[in-house]
Amino acid sequence: MANNIKEKIQADLQQAKSTGQLRTEHIREIVKSAVAQVAAEFKEGSSELRDLVKDAVSAVIENLQEKGGELKEEVTASIEGALEGVNTKRHEAIVKTQGELKRLQSQLDGEEKQLQQEVDGMLAEIEATGKNKSANTKSAIDSAINAIKDSDEVALLKKRYAQLQAQLAIVKANLAARYGGRSGEVKDYLDEAQNWYNEARPQAEALATKVEEKRSHLEDQLGAAGTALAKKERQLKQTLRELLLTTADFFKDKDKEPTDKQKETANK
């Protein structure tokens, strides 16, 4: 196995050298392809797979030693390619599971919206019953209904949920990019993050200057990640990592924003 995988990788590297295409991304794809072909023969988690990854990386190191100088990027590319290749089947299973989760999430969102519509309809009927009541009774009914509709707890829960979903989508984009995800898969996660981020943004709230600056930076980072993905830049993983850190920092500051009631109290 060791000789076969090494011979395959070294032959492909030599061919890439001869055509002047021996870039880190190409090294990654050469190793990934060679490892994926052999990995299919072994059981997941077996010692043979670990040896396969080790042999593949060694093949690259041995082939490029003559180059001299810094080999960090090439070695990193070979390790990433080997890990992606050896986990191809497992990643496909993860993608399938994620697709099922998204379907269930969509179904859950639809059921929650339907439930909310039914609750709103019931509240509207209760509100209608107060029209023929005394002023005090009508005021009490209206006040109770408004308190339920405008509950700070409900608003906070919805906001937190959207924030967590946005961060989770960015985590998934990072994992997909790092462990062999296709560009379309990464883009889906970035789009999902953008949608949840938009839902988490306050619609009618004056933001502090510091938070506004971070919001703008987060939007720029989301745009940069999409641009890097479209161009298949080598910096995509670094851009996604920075996006993840920016998102965590932004939502941390958002947690400190005062609620409307807190603002009213402070202004009194």
Burial class (CB in 10 A: 0-12, 13-18, 19+), 95: middle
Do residues 173 and 193 touch, judged by C-beta distance below 8 A? yes
The band of 215, judged by pLDDT with boundaries at 50, 70 and 90, is: low
Do residues 243 and 225 touch, judged by C-beta distance below 8 A? yes
CATH number of 151-260: 1.20.120.660
pLDDT at 204: 34
Report pLDDT digits (tens) over 18-43: 887 778 888 888 998 999 888 877 77
Kindly tell me if the per-residue pLDDT of 263 is higher than 60.
Answer: no
Query: What DSSP letter does each residue of 81-123 carry, written as one string?
Result: HHHHHHTHHHHHHHHHHHHHHHHHHHHHHHHHHHHHHHHHHHH
Kindly tell me if the per-residue pLDDT of 223 is higher than 70.
Answer: yes
Number of helices (H) and strands (E), helices first, in the chain?
Answer: 11, 0
Kindly tell me if the per-residue pLDDT of 211 is higher than 70.
Answer: no
Percent of the chain with pLDDT over 90: 2
pLDDT at 93: 83
Nearest to 239 by CA among 249, 250, 229: 229
Alpha-carbon torsion 254, 202, 144, 123, what sign?
Answer: negative
Per mean pLDDT, which range of 110-114, 131-135, 263-267 is the poorest? 263-267
End-to-end CA, the chain: 77
Neighbours of 195 (CB within 10 A): 14
In the chain, domain spans = 2-86, 102-150, 151-260
Average pLDDT, the chain: 78
Query: Crossing angle for the helix pair 152-178 and 236-254, nearest 10 degrees?
Result: 170
pLDDT at 133: 84
Mapped onto helix, strand or coil, the DSSP state of residue 18 is helix
Of residues 66 and 10, the one with the higher pLDDT is 10
Q: Which tokens belong to 173?
A: 């984009």
Report pLDDT digits (tens) over 236-261: 777 777 887 777 777 765 555 544 44
DSSP-derived letter for residue 204 is S
Nearest to 39 by CA among 75, 7, 83: 83
